[in-house]
Amino acid sequence: MALEFSERIRRIASYPAAGGYAQNVPAVRLASNESPYPPLAEVREAIESALSTLNRYPDPSNSILRARLSDRYGVPVPRIAIGNGSCDILLAAGEALLEPGAEIVHAWPSFSVYPHLSAASGARAVTVPLDGDERHDLEAMLSEVTVATRLAIVCNPNNPTSTAVPLADIASFVGEVPPHVCVIVDEAYCEFNLLEDPDASIELLDSHPNLVLLRTFSKVHGLCGLRVGFALCGSEDLPRALDQVRQPFFCNALAQAAAAEALAHQDAVIDRVTRTVAERISVDERLRALGIEPADSQANFCWFHLSEDRDEQEVMSGLQERGVLVRGGTALGGEGALRVTYGTPEENERFLQALAEVL
Ligand SMILES: Cc1ncc(COP(=O)(O)O)c(C=O)c1O
């Protein structure tokens, strides 16, 4: 007899993970918006020194990491939440805030984990199309907020379209949203956003207890293999609720040690951002020379639509045959588009050459 699953399992779509992880063949991996740069030597040392105490459970309150985050960002420790990746915080926030009858508002196409929150909870998802420049349409999102809304998510810069909205627009959005609605601004890629200082949004927390800035060590810090993210919150309420719905030791000891050390190396963050932005400018120029118009990227990846006579799957397969892995837009809500992470100069060269051949 087949297993009888819960109703919600029928609603939850499987996460569209990128392929290639099980292969041993060296490939140019530009499909998951990872950092092409390996963890810093000091971060590796911190991981090594944490190895000898792996017979103990990790610190359940992530105290060293939260204290370092508090020093770095000027947000009090009780208003900082840690997660097993920032996805863990998103899913726990969905569990804490949503239920049948409640509503969640988010843009689409946006990060593929957001639809999971409504599916898992039975809440109604209100998805708002991006504007003509593939940016969040915050006015349209605001008009969808009702008494039933519990959560609104703004992904800035947006995955998969790479675009960002100015902080002033986010500030007015948060200023208009009623205080019972939790607003998560997902800033996984904020360090790569040159529209403004990535830390400028933190000031908004002081005047908006319902605001949450979601960040991660997976992207600019290059630690996605360890799974650690954090949320800077406008009040202590959400961190407390997240801990109620999660297992106690959600962030492992190596991840805590690595993330705490990574924070001490802001010079490396600046260096990586500089290198990524240089690649962003050069790859986008070369794409334009191929007749492709990429979206205005403020992230570590680009997003572009193929011409109508091109088949997304065929282009992806052509790139894969040449050892280059990218993401197809269909799985991400944008049929006929490709999302490509900026890699090292050598990786980008291989991608551009392969693309020119395929097209
Ligand atoms: C917009 C956005 N938010 C959150 C995440 C999750 O990051 P992690 O769970 O690795 O911290 C990603 C990962 O790709 C992302 O693109």
**Percent of the chain scoring above 70 in pLDDT:** 98
Question: Is there an atom of ligand 1 within 6 Å of 159 CB?
Answer: yes
Tokens of 329: 């837009």
For 208-228, b/e burial (b = at least 16 CB within 10 A) is bebbbbbbbbbbbbbbbebbb
Question: What's the pLDDT band for 253 if we cut at 50, 70, 90?
Answer: very high
CA of residue 289 relative to chain centroid, distance:
29
- Does residue 223 carry a pLDDT above 70? yes
Q: What is the pLDDT of residue 27?
A: 87
| CA-111 nearest atom, ligand 1 | 1
**Phi-psi category of residue 210: left, alpha or beta, with phi > 0 → left and psi -120 to 50 → alpha:** alpha
Who has greater pLDDT, 40 or 18? 40
| CA-189 nearest atom, ligand 1 | 1
- Does residue 187 carry a pLDDT above 90? yes
- Does residue 210 carry a pLDDT above 80? yes
Taking the C-alpha atoms of residue 226 and residue 126, their distance in angstroms, rounded to an integer, is 32
Dihedral sign, Cα of residue 107, residue 113, residue 117, residue 123: positive
Tokens of 267: 């010079």
Question: Is there an atom of ligand 1 within 6 Å of 186 CB?
Answer: yes
Q: What's the rounded mean pLDDT across residues 218-225?
A: 97
Q: For residue 197, give the 3-state DSSP assignment.
A: coil
Q: What is the pLDDT of residue 24?
A: 62
Please provide the average confidence, as pLDDT, over all residues in the chain. 96
Q: What's the rounded mean pLDDT across residues 35-43?
A: 97
Residue 33, burial from CB neighbour count under 10 angstroms (0-12, 13-18, 19+): buried
Q: Please provide the DSSP assignment of 100-113 as one string.
A: TT-EEEEEES--TT
Question: Is there an atom of ligand 1 within 6 Å of 27 CB?
Answer: no
303 DSSP β-pair partners: 339
Start-to-end CA span in the chain (Å)? 50
Q: Please provide the DSSP assignment of 38-93 as one string.
A: PPPHHHHHHHHHHHTTTTSPP-TT-HHHHHHHHHHH---GGGEEEESSHHHHHHHH
| CA-87 nearest atom, ligand 1 | 9
Question: What's the pLDDT band for 21 if we cut at 50, 70, 90?
Answer: low
- The number of beta carbons lying within 10 Å of the beta carbon of residue 67 is 13
Who has greater pLDDT, 5 or 212? 212
Question: What's the pLDDT band for 235 if we cut at 50, 70, 90?
Answer: very high
Q: Which long-range contacts (CB under 8 A, 24 or more apart) does 138-141 make?
A: 138/165, 138/169, 138/170, 138/172, 138/173, 141/105, 141/106, 141/107, 141/173
Who has greater pLDDT, 27 or 171? 171
**Contact partners, residue 226, CB within 8 Å, separation at least 6:** 47, 217, 252, 254, 255, 258, 259
Q: What is the pLDDT of residue 22?
A: 64
Which letter does DSSP use for residue 249 in this model?
T
Question: Is there an atom of ligand 1 within 6 Å of 231 CB?
Answer: no
Q: Name which residue sits closest to atom 12 of ligand 1, judged by CA.
A: 188
**8 Å CB contact between 77 and 70:** yes
Q: What's the rounded mean pLDDT across residues 114-137?
A: 97
For the entire predicted model, the pTM comes to 0.96
Question: Is there an atom of ligand 1 within 6 Å of 112 CB?
Answer: no
- The number of beta carbons lying within 10 Å of the beta carbon of residue 2 is 4
| CA-158 nearest atom, ligand 1 | 1
Q: What is the pLDDT of residue 26?
A: 67
- Does residue 23 carry a pLDDT above 70? no
Dihedral sign, Cα of residue 314, residue 319, residue 325, residue 328: negative
Question: Is there an atom of ligand 1 within 6 Å of 118 CB?
Answer: no
Instruction: Measure the CA dihedral 141/125/107/111, to 10°.
Output: 150
Q: What is the pLDDT of residue 66?
A: 98
